[in-house]
Amino acid sequence: MAETPCKRLYEEQGQAPWLDNISRGLISSGELQKMIDHDGIVGVTSNPTIFEKAIGTGTDYDAQMREIYGQGKDAQAVFLELMIRDIQDAADIFRPVYDRTDRLDGYISIEVTPDLALNTEGTLAQARIFHQRLGRPNILVKIPATKEGIPAIEQAIYEGISINVTLIFAIDRYQAVMEAYLRGLERRHAEGKALDIASVASFFVSRVDSNVDKKLDALIAKAGSDAEKKHLESLKGKAAVANAKIAYEVFGQVFSGPRWATLQAAGARVQRPLWASTSTKNPSYRDVMYVEHLIGPHTVDTMPPATIIAFNDHGEVKRTIDTDMAAEHKVIADLAAAGIHMDAVTKELEDEGVASFAKSFETLNGVIAGKRAALAAGQPQNEQTDLGSFNSQVEQTLHELADAAGHIWQHDAAWWSADSVVQGKIGDRLGWLGVVERMIGEADDLRNFAESICKGGFKNVLLMGMGGSSLAPDLFSMEFETADGFPELYVLDSTDPAMVAVCREGLEPADTLYIVSSKSGTTTEPTAFMNYFYERVKAVKGDKAGENFLAITDPGSPLITEAQQRGFRRVFQNPPDIGGRYSALSYFGLVPAALMGVDVRKLLDRAHQMTERCGAGVAAAENPGVWLGAVLGTLGKAGRDKVTFITTPGTASFADWAEQLIAESTGKQGCGLVPVAGEETGPPDIYGDDRVFVYMPKESDDHEALDEMVEKLMDADQPVITLPMADEYDLGGEFFRWQVATAVAGKVLGINPFDEPNVTESKDNTKRLLADYAKTHRLPDPTPVAAAGNLELFAYNLPDLAGGPDSSGKNGSDSSDLDPAEVLETLFESVEVHDYFAILAYLETSDDNMDQLEAIRTLALDELQVATTLGFGPRFLHSTGQLHKGGANNGVFLVFTSDEAGDVKIPNMDFSFGTLIRAQALGDIEALVAKGRRVVRIHLVNAEDGLREAGDLIDEVLVGAGVES
């Protein structure tokens, strides 16, 4: 096996790659040892934030916590006991590295508690306790580089305690740290004591850019000329590297000359600079930027798992730490000339760092106290399941998936496909694995931006997107209360003219912020929405219309240029290696959530807890994502392919979000899981043997009646998975759990869960129809096979229909005299035992239409006794549309279209919204027919009256005629 870039860092460049993460699961699973052997990791750091995530999730610490609580210790004492055991175990794992490198590496760091950051004597007392209690030579005690910490560092070195100095931002503070190290060594040397003391100085990196870039953005907004803007833009993303490289320059000066030579001759080693916070926070920057720009001898780089994976995947190994130093000094000088002084920046960062770690420690104590209460009450694991006869099959799958989490977290595209081309495409879709960590670093910026929107007087936010860019925001708008003072969030993902009109009439252009959300920047619907509403705002604000717009898109998309030309308030560039349906925890979901006042950090914390539980070191049976994926995949292969969500009011929208994830990821190559969201829950006897139920009750919802119904389903031997949620913020964890589960289910089913090969079929048909329309000003107008009142019926792939279309799916021009009831009866009678019945409505998503369509759906469930789905077009084209065309031919489709009472023109386009939605409907039907799907389209000449007539007719056919399936 070729050496990894991390190993090459160590062997070729003299830089030690350390891991910035620790947990009991990582230790006990063997994953930490694997990272030493495979990834080339030679050390590890820890802090209270890391332990808060590890202790607060899973059950790894439960047994020890029960034992400690029996001794009557408080939360802080409990934490210290838990931490000490993990540090000792990790130190033992790294001991061979320590010995092999002659004490240079193989260290693990343990941090004094943050409440002592400004307490010299308290810091020293705790450092002594750690040194004595841990009893391992390869331990570094972390002491912050505050003014109060400096004398504690010197004294600890003098006493023979190896130290990791943390929270260094400023060059002058770094010089004080090195001076403290030297003085401690000199005092030992004067007394004839050994100088075999280890120390590193943790110099923080990415946080510098986060701070400076915000200041630059403020200056850019006020810049008086394009040249000034360009100059300020050129400084973004430069301060952190410049600051660190200058620190290394100072390091070289201090550890040279006669003073150092005397200590070195007596056995002392340099205090190596350690680059901390090297994960890239800004998604528009290269994800391994800080690692690549700070490579050099006598340094340490401590990286979180995602950065290690990224660097081993595509990092470039070459010495960069001392190259082009004149340019680095110029960056600092240019910043100062612009009014950004590094001494002020680093002071802010130190204060924020001390406060942040203190807050983490406070949160940690709360987590431990909460865990104590849960353990005392005998709280079981959150997830519950009753799989009946499928238990043994699932256990076999879990055995086969023993290394699943490792493959996923290593971005091993070959795990899903042996095709090198497909592997490359999968590799470009795995960014969701690390997005939680990246977005946590952006939480404060999102909050600050949201507050600036509040101060700007905006009362409403309208997100304009489709599929993956709109479903998560729609969920947030449904499940979270808008915080006081924040604007209301609305989502437009329908091209129906009536829906566009609702947003036009209900939202004042001057006080509405419009979000154009499109991964590619070329999606037809968001582009049409943008053109329409931009003209509306321009009529009110003129050339300043762009102040009411922001964009969320991928780097390099045409939307960025468009936004710049129109003067958008801001453009959020999302990590490009995340597919739309996996983007809920990226900017696509989080920007809209923040704008309505959702606590994004809290949401991401819940997601982070789930990432830990789904980590590479967690056994398949204990890994929530792998386990759920194994269940869904195993039962899907066994014919239980209808994943039916049973939800309470507080979780209903999650099912709509999961619908796209499951359908678009698994519905291909003639197979797939059919997500069933929003279906009315009925008695066990109406369900066949093709279901698996997912019950998601929210704690604060009234779900006693549903509990009883679910019990009856389990009594009837229906497999049921129960995933309760404490509150709406648990959605963060569920997003991640289901993404992992879907990736695993794809593996079990033998398909690539990251592509959507059939989605373009309907889109291509629509584009062709619109291109023809631009020439002829007409869309196809086929002859209905039946008509009555406000209804026109069109039938496809129903060869049993007397006088109707042949097996090619083409309508006969002489068959318009058929009875509409006969057409529907033929459709319903074509439904077989394991089919699903799908209602596709290209109609206004009004409450009245929803109620009437749900009534039709429930009737179909009761009478046909097959799974039913309901989707409004064109939104489902970007989600379940993949399953409809790419999955098994077991879907029976009832499509509704209508004449539009009032159409809406689209500026800068050759068609109206009414024409667009009609072309989308016809294009979709064309794609379904080409795949041999059974389809009936009911066109409503008058939408309001026609839908009622259609409901009455369907009731007559299903109930009155007693259709058999």
pLDDT, tens digit, for every residue of 884-905?
999 999 999 999 999 877 899 9
Contact between residue 947 and residue 851 where contact means Cβ atoms under 8 Å apart: no
What three-state secondary structure class fits 693?
Answer: strand
Per-residue pLDDT reduced to its tens digit, 344-367:
999 999 888 877 766 666 666 666
Which tokens go with 407? 């493959």
pLDDT of residue 812: 38
Model confidence at 609, in pLDDT bands (50, 70, 90)?
Answer: confident
For residue 293, what are the CA distances in angstroms to 83, 328, 334? Answer: 33, 11, 20
pLDDT of residue 945: 92
Q: Is the per-residue pLDDT at 384 higher than 70?
A: no
**Weakest-pLDDT range from 234-248, 662-676, 892-906:** 892-906
pLDDT of residue 26: 74
Question: Residue 307: which of 294, 320, 290, 321 has the closest Cα?
Answer: 290
Given the residues 142, 238, 245, 698, select the one marked as catalytic: 142
Mark 97-118 as b/e (b = at least 16 C-beta within 10 Å): bbeeeeebbbbbbbbbbbebbe
pTM assigned to the model = 0.73
Cβ-based neighbour number of residue 320 at 10 Å: 17
Ranges assigned E (strand) in 717-828: 720-722, 786-788, 791-796
Give the integer Cα–Cα distance in Å for 502 and 460. Answer: 14
Element (H, E) at 644: strand 642-647
pLDDT of residue 793: 97
Give the integer Cα–Cα distance in Å for 123 and 131. Answer: 12
Q: DSSP character for 958?
A: I
β-strand 460-464 against 512-517: which pairing, if any?
Answer: parallel
Give the integer Cα–Cα distance in Å for 119 and 165. Answer: 15
Give the integer Cα–Cα distance in Å for 933 and 231. Answer: 58
Q: Which residue has the tokens 């619908």?
A: 659
Question: Residue 96: which of 83, 84, 85, 107 has the closest Cα?
Answer: 107
Model confidence at 941, in pLDDT bands (50, 70, 90)?
Answer: very high
Q: Is the per-residue pLDDT at 196 higher than 50?
A: yes
Per-residue pLDDT reduced to its tens digit, 535-594:
999 999 999 999 999 999 998 899 999 999 999 999 999 989 999 999 999 999 999 999
**Weakest-pLDDT range from 113-127, 407-421, 825-839, 923-937:** 113-127
Contact between residue 674 and residue 883 where contact means Cβ atoms under 8 Å apart: yes
pLDDT of residue 367: 64
- Dihedrals φ, ψ of 797, to 5°? 55, 40
pLDDT of residue 804: 47
pLDDT of residue 224: 87
Element (H, E) at 139: strand 139-144
Give the integer Cα–Cα distance in Å for 578 and 519. Answer: 9
Q: Is the per-residue pLDDT at 758 higher than 60?
A: yes
For residue 267, what are the CA distances in angstroms to 185, 270, 567? Answer: 10, 10, 62
Q: Is the per-residue pLDDT at 959 higher than 80?
A: yes
Q: Is the per-residue pLDDT at 2 higher than 90?
A: no
Model confidence at 835, in pLDDT bands (50, 70, 90)?
Answer: very high
Give the integer Cα–Cα distance in Å for 627 and 623. Answer: 6
Q: Could you confirm whether 142 is annotated as catalytic?
A: yes
Give the integer Cα–Cα distance in Å for 880 and 655. Answer: 13
Q: DSSP character for 604?
A: H
Q: pLDDT higher for 787 or 306?
A: 787
**Weakest-pLDDT range from 120-134, 368-382, 778-792, 819-833:** 368-382
Determine the residue type at 624. Answer: P
Which tokens go with 86? 């993990």
Which tokens go with 459? 């009362």
Q: What percent of the chain has pLDDT over 90?
A: 76
- Omega of the bond leading into 907 within 30 degrees of 0 (cis): no
pLDDT of residue 74: 65
For residue 442, what are the CA distances in angstroms to 202, 475, 487, 600? Answer: 22, 21, 20, 9
Question: Residue 15: which of 331, 278, 266 has the closest Cα?
Answer: 278
What's the mean pLDDT in 616-643?
93
pLDDT of residue 376: 53
3-state helix, strand, coil in the chain (%, to 5): 55, 15, 30
Element (H, E) at 898: strand 891-898
Mind spelling out the 3-state secondary structure of 212-265? HHHHHHHHHHHCCCHHHHHHHHHCCCCHHHHHHHHHHHHHHHHCCHHHHHHHHH
Element (H, E) at 928: helix 913-930
Instruction: Specify the length of the chain in residues.
Output: 965
The DSSP result for 46-105, as a single string, is --HHHHHHHHHSSSTTHHHHHHHHTTT--HHHHHHHHHHHHHHHHHHHHHHHHHHTTTSS
Q: Which residue has the tokens 């039946």?
A: 786
Per-residue pLDDT reduced to its tens digit, 791-809:
999 999 999 886 544 433 4
What's the mean pLDDT in 664-680?
96
Question: Residue 82: which of 96, 63, 98, 100 has the closest Cα?
Answer: 63
- Quick one: CA dihedral 615, 619, 625, 630, positive or negative? positive
Q: How far is CA 344 from the centre of its chain?
A: 34
Give the integer Cα–Cα distance in Å for 481 and 596. Answer: 8
State the distance between the two ends of the chain, measured CA to CA, in whole angstroms: 58
Q: What residues contact 421, with CB distance under 8 A and at least 6 apart?
A: none
Q: Is the per-residue pLDDT at 65 higher than 80?
A: no
Give the integer Cα–Cα distance in Å for 910 and 933. Answer: 31
pLDDT of residue 190: 97
Contact between residue 886 and residue 475 where contact means Cβ atoms under 8 Å apart: no
Give the integer Cα–Cα distance in Å for 865 and 863. Answer: 6
